């Protein structure tokens, strides 16, 4: 049995959904289908999830939301008309959105409920379309499927008890179409996963039903060794390990959500990334282990939106509990951190900007000053992280030198190096403005140099 997920680009309009129908028909093993909300139809377009967030913002700010509601309805109207889906679908959709808008749920729940409408409607339309094609298909709500999550709006996490319930889906003979991106708490509250989270749903379901394969259909032939919007025609990756993909997704390969690797990895389900527009291309396979390759670097990824809090104090290494107290201050302020490289007299804590808004900065710095008495504290905003990834990287001589050479050639200053905590990656902190030239230069040195 395969669990097959189609991303936003694969369900963006009726033409794409027809391709989805062909792909499902083509292989009877494709029994469980997870779908995203319609994505962008062209570069300038807006994803349905973003339209729904805009609608929710209008509702929560008590503004006139009629136009935004109509924009959402028009996206689905176009798809439904072109696929000749029954008319009542649209009336039901409008009614269910109006019910969410007028119910007495809190702001945080209302936002999540509205965000989920994109995936939910997509799943309903696609199940109706498959039925029209003569397939035995049915829409399955995540609650009925058994996707039970933590009470954390927009950041939900799967609860282990889900897996046993999901396994029972194997008994169903129909093709099940499950909306991605959300689940329900034990109290029945709808919660969404982080943005891009339909990949996570697919992985959870694949793990739950112990699928032979989790297929993730998108709009590129494979995972490339570098973001194809930065480098033209980059090298395709045919096979990579869960560990490599997790690091690359974390650092900017938006083709697959970094949190989606964990369920598949824990249950040893291979993941295949494929192209809806070219379904017979071999794609990329993500597996537990692969043959050791002489050229160990498999990919280069980078992402902006980081800050670093640099703290120095003479004899920090002798002060018991310094690191714990520093991180405790962050915990008290509900700030999670990404990395914490340290030296003898100094320590940097790298934080994602969205976890450390400017409003919190003053208080945190004051507490660090008062409670830890450092010689110096400095905040660096606008940082980017660029990551070189590959199994065997730690035992290969000369990687850091090669990377430093590439960054020097691109005239990029290295603000921080994090090497050693992961055995498959090496990370450099640089200024955000330098990210593109850094990635291009690293790609050139690691993939286009012939030696
Ligand atoms: N290394 C990479 N390999 C392939 N695609 C990448 C990579 N890095 C970023 N991408 C981008 O990811 C996109 C696919 O992800 P996404 O837009 O989320 O797809 P979907 O709509 O299927 O969920 C590609 O179109 C590509 O621009
Ligand atoms: N629609 C949601 C979830 C998702 O996974 O979408 P996509 O498959 O288009 O990345 C979002 O935009 O965040």
Domain containing residue 120: CATH number? 3.40.1160.10
pLDDT at 420: 64
Mean pLDDT on 298-313: 95
Q: Supply the residue whose CA is at minimum distance from atom 26 of ligand 1.
A: 255
Of 13-17, 86-90, 271-275, 351-355, the one with minimum mean pLDDT is 86-90
Q: Does any domain span residue 292?
A: no
Ligand nearest to the CA of 16: 1
Q: Distance (Å, rounded) from C-alpha 215 to C-alpha 256?
A: 11
Q: Which of 11, 12, 216, 254 to mutate to test the pocket of ligand 1 (most atoms within 8 A of CB)?
A: 254
- Considering the domain architecture, whether residues 262 and 384 belong to the same structural domain is answered as no
pLDDT at 448: 87
DSSP 300-334: EEEEEEEEEEEEE-TTGGGSTTHHHHHHHHHHHTT
State the distance from the centre of ligand 1 to the C-alpha of 7, rounded, in angstroms.
10
Which atom of ligand 2 is the closest one to the Cα of 6? 8
pLDDT at 417: 87
Mean pLDDT on 332-342: 92
Q: Does any domain span residue 83?
A: yes
Percentage, residues of the chain above pLDDT 70:
99
Q: Quick check: 181 pLDDT over 70?
A: yes
- Considering the domain architecture, whether residues 235 and 332 belong to the same structural domain is answered as no
Which of 238, 256, 287 is the last residue before a domain boundary? 287
Which of 287, 315, 341 is the last residue before a domain boundary? 287
ipTM of this predicted structure: 0.98
Cα angle 441, 444, 449 (rounded to 5 degrees) comes to 140
- Range of the structural domain that residue 204 is part of: 2-287
- Considering the domain architecture, whether residues 180 and 221 belong to the same structural domain is answered as yes
Q: Distance (Å, rounded) from C-alpha 73 to C-alpha 66?
A: 11
Q: Does any domain span residue 96?
A: yes
Count up the domains in the chain and report the number.
2
- Considering the domain architecture, whether residues 268 and 392 belong to the same structural domain is answered as no
Which tens digit of pLDDT belongs to each residue from 156-174? Answer: 999 999 999 999 999 999 9
Q: Does any domain span residue 102?
A: yes
Strand partners, 309: 349, 379
pLDDT at 451: 52
Q: Which of 43, 45, 218 to mutate to test the pocket of ligand 1 (most atoms within 8 A of CB)?
A: 218
Q: Which long-range contacts (CB under 8 A, 24 or more apart) does 246-251 make?
A: 247/301, 247/387, 247/389, 247/422, 247/424, 247/425, 248/223, 248/298, 248/299, 248/301, 248/387, 248/389, 249/301, 250/301, 250/387, 251/301, 251/302, 251/303, 251/385, 251/386, 251/387, 251/389, 251/425, 251/427
Which tens digit of pLDDT belongs to each residue from 243-259? Answer: 999 999 999 999 999 89
pLDDT at 73: 97
- Considering the domain architecture, whether residues 132 and 243 belong to the same structural domain is answered as yes
Cα separations (Å) of 351 from 173, 315, 327, 337, 344? Answer: 47, 24, 11, 5, 21
Which tens digit of pLDDT belongs to each residue from 49-80? Answer: 999 999 999 999 999 999 999 999 999 999 99
pLDDT at 450: 56
Nearest to 14, CA basis, from 117, 125, 179 = 125
Q: Does any domain span residue 308?
A: yes
C-alpha dihedral over 90, 96, 98, 102, to 10 degrees?
180
Q: Supply the residue whose CA is at minimum distance from atom 2 of ligand 2.
A: 196
Mean pLDDT on 383-388: 96
Which of 267, 287, 307 is the last residue before a domain boundary? 287
Looking at every residue in the chain, the average pLDDT score rounds to 94
Protein residues whose CB sits closer than 6 Å to any atom of ligand 1: 7-10, 36, 39, 196, 218-220, 223-224, 226-229, 253-255
- Considering the domain architecture, whether residues 8 and 60 belong to the same structural domain is answered as yes
Q: Does any domain span residue 293?
A: no
Q: Which band of pLDDT confidence, cut at 50, 70 and 90, is reported for residue 396?
A: confident
Which tens digit of pLDDT belongs to each residue from 398-420? Answer: 888 999 999 999 999 998 888 76
């Amino acid at each position: 049995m395969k669990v097959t997920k189609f991303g936003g680009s694969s369900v963006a309009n009726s033409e794409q959904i027809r391709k989805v129908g062909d792909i499902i028909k083509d292989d009877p093993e494709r029994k469980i289908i997870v779908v995203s909300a319609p994505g962008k139809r062209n570069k300038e377009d807006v994803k349905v999830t973003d339209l729904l967030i805009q609608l929710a913002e209008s509702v929560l700010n008590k503004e006139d939301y009629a136009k935004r509601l109509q924009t959402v309805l028009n996206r689905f109207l176009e798809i439904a008309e072109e696929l000749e889906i029954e008319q009542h679908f649209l009336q039901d959709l409008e009614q269910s959105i109006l019910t969410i808008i007028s119910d007495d749920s809190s702001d945080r729940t209302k936002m999540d409920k509205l965000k989920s409408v994109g995936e939910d409607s997509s799943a309903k339309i696609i199940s109706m379309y498959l039925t029209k094609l003569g397939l035995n298909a049915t829409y399955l709500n995540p609650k009925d499927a058994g996707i039970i999550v933590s009470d954390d709006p927009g950041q939900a996490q799967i609860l282990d008890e889900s897996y046993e319930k999901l396994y029972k889906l194997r008994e169903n003979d129909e093709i099940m179409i499950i909306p991605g991106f959300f689940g329900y708490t034990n109290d029945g509250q709808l919660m969404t996963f982080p943005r891009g989270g339909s990949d996570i749903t697919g992985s959870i379901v694949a793990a739950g039903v112990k699928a032979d394969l989790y297929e993730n259909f998108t709009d590129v032939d494979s995972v490339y060794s570098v973001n194809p919007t930065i480098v033209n025609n980059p090298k395709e990756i045919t096979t990579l390990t869960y560990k490599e993909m997790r690091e690359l997704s974390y650092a900017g390969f938006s083709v697959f959500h970094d949190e989606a690797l964990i369920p598949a990895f824990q249950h040893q389900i291979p993941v295949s990334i494929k192209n809806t527009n070219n379904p017979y291309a071999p794609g990329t396979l993500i597996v537990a282990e692969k043959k050791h390759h002489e050229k160990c670097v498999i990919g280069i990824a980078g992402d902006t939106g980081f800050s670093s809090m640099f703290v120095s104090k003479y004899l920090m290494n002798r002060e018991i509990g310094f690191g714990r107290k520093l991180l405790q201050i962050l915990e008290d302020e509900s700030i999670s951190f990404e990395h914490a490289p340290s030296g003898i007299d100094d320590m940097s804590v790298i934080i994602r900007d969205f976890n450390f808004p400017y409003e919190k900065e003053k208080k945190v710095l004051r507490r660090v000053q008062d409670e830890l008495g450092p010689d110096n504290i400095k905040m660096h905003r606008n940082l980017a992280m660029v990551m070189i990834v590959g199994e065997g990287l730690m035992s290969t001589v000369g990687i850091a030198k090669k990377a430093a050479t590439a960054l020097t050639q691109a005239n990029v200053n290295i603000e921080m190096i994090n090497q050693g905590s992961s055995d498959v990656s090496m990370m450099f902190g640089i200024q955000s403005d330098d990210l593109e030239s850094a990635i291009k230069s690293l790609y050139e040195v690691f993939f286009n140099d012939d030696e």
